[in-house]
């Protein structure tokens, strides 16, 4: 399993975020034009940002699970996603 993060921030803003946290253990994808956010229907036009969402994408590129409005509690959400993935692929 691979994990990546994506935001509508620039590469520079993402680097500053990673530096602030002392590093990130997964790649961050910069989407400053919001093409990815719009494709996943999570772009918030009024706010010019993206809602927090999670997508589990299979090796074939197909979306397997989605969490369109993921909670801000990252740890609990990540644990729930990993549990769902473990059940799905058991």
Sign of the torsion angle spanned by Cα atoms 34, 39, 45, 47: negative
* pLDDT tens by residue, 47-85: 999 999 999 998 899 999 999 888 887 889 989 999 999
For 14-31, what is the mean pLDDT?
A: 95
Q: Is the pLDDT of residue 4 over 90?
A: yes
Write out the residue range of the structural domain in which residue 34 sits: 5-88
Q: The pTM is what?
A: 0.83
- Look up residue 15 and give its two tokens: 């680097």
Burial class (CB in 10 A: 0-12, 13-18, 19+), 80: middle
- At 64, which CATH number? 3.40.30.10
For the chain, the domain total comes to: 1
């Amino acid at each position: 399993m691979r994990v990546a993060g994506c935001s509508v921030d620039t590469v520079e803003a993402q680097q500053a975020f990673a530096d602030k946290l002392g590093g990130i253990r997964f790649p961050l994808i910069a989407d400053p034009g919001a093409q990815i956010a719009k494709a996943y229907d999570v772009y918030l036009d009024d706010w010019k940002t993206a809602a927090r969402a999670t997508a589990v994408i299979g090796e074939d590129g197909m979306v397997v699970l989605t969490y369109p409005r993921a909670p801000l509690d990252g740890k609990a959400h990540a644990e729930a996603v990993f549990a769902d993935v473990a059940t799905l692929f058991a």
